[in-house]
Structure 1
């Protein structure tokens, strides 16, 4: 079972790209481990989840605004280019992927981490609709974002044994009409899988 209290190392690692006073959207925030982490860094967090009971403890956290929403059954509620940072952890709803990506401002940051194909060997989620395909996140952002880091590999427990298959990306939305924009970067040394072009 994945940790529901400690911030993901991937999110912590890339927090250096998130400036104080940035507007951050935490999608399907759950118990708010990332909302709390970034709020403590003076980031303005909008924490959204459909479970009101999970949101309740966050209502008293400074720099956090909670919103109860059903992102799977209602229209996507956020305007294009409305957040400096969009963060998603352990959640996948492909029908809203295009709108979710569009929510990131030009020059803004996407932080995304969730389970991928192969996770069925370790437990849930195991259904294909809840598992990313190989290179899928890189394909989503290709052409519109500059990839800072990307990986897809087993997540290991304290004993070093694989406990899940995860895919992760950190990417910055391109600024419009800027000459000399560099193309999407390849993963950092030691990361698996190049960002893939769309099929």
Structure 2
């Protein structure tokens, strides 16, 4: 076994939250997986037939997908203070899990196309009782996702709870849609 293969980590299963709402994403809709890590959600949607964009500071864990013409890999340090790397682009589904960097929340929400879906799930205050992350900079405040999404997106589901699996954690998760632009000719 080579050193590289011995260091390979298994790809975790997609989030149950993402799976729950996946049927609302048309197979033709382009999906953005923000801070994708191993690409578990991008891989899930690609297997469904969706074109996907995988965005992360380190795309080495998704490099095996580079040969797929319907996969775009974007390497960008989202916390470096640079402009959002996907300006002007919108997506039929934007997924963020286990990641929070408040300065780009407006960009993430803005990346949801009319009729598109935002699926966001990350750690919340109270998680410090269970371990990492425990830094308040990486923990959502009470109902923070509701407040952030409310002005632009219609919330279809929200949870702020403690879960036991895959490990005990305090999390918030939201599913929200951007309303389609009304046809002015009718």
Shorter-chain TM band? 0.7 to 0.9
Q: Does structure 2 conserve the Cα–Cα contact (< 8 Å) formed by 1:81 and 1:106?
A: no
3-state SS of 1:101 partner:
helix
Aligned to 2:7: none
Aligned to 1:174: 179
Aligned to 1:197: none
After superposition, residues 1-199 of structure 1 pair within 5 angstroms as 5-60=12-67, 63-73=70-80, 74-80=82-88, 82-157=90-165, 163-176=168-181
More helix by share: 2
Q: Does structure 2 conserve the Cα–Cα contact (< 8 Å) formed by 1:49 and 1:55?
A: no
> For residues 51 and 86 of structure 1, do their structure 2 counterparts lie closer, same or farther at Cα, with a shift above 3 Å needed?
same
3-state SS of 1:132 partner:
coil
Describe the superposition over 1:105-146 as per-residue Cα deviations: whole angstroms up to 9, x where unpaired: 111110000000011000111101101111000101113211
**CA RMSD of superposed structures (Å):** 2.0
> For residues 139 and 178 of structure 1, do their structure 2 counterparts lie closer, same or farther at Cα, with a shift above 3 Å needed?
farther
Q: TM-score, normalised by structure 1?
A: 0.81
3-state SS of 1:40 partner:
helix
Question: Separation in 2 of the partners of 1:170 and 1:90?
Answer: 15
Instruction: In structure 1, list runs of 5 or more residues that go unmatched.
Output: 180-199
Aligned to 1:192: none
Instruction: In structure 2, list runs of 5 or more residues that go unmatched.
Output: 1-9
Describe the superposition over 1:138-175 as per-residue Cα deviations: whole angstroms up to 9, x where unpaired: 101113211111001111137xxx71111000000123
Question: Separation in 1 of the partners of 2:63 and 2:136?
Answer: 31
Per the TM alignment, residue 176 of structure 1 is displaced from its structure 2 partner at its CA by 3.9
3-state SS of 1:26 partner:
strand
Question: Separation in 1 of the partners of 2:56 and 2:134?
Answer: 22
3-state SS of 2:168 partner:
strand
Aligned to 2:3: none
Describe the superposition over 1:16-54 as per-residue Cα deviations: whole angstroms up to 9, x where unpaired: 111011111100000011111000111110001111322
Q: Does structure 2 conserve the Cα–Cα contact (< 8 Å) formed by 1:32 and 1:58?
A: no
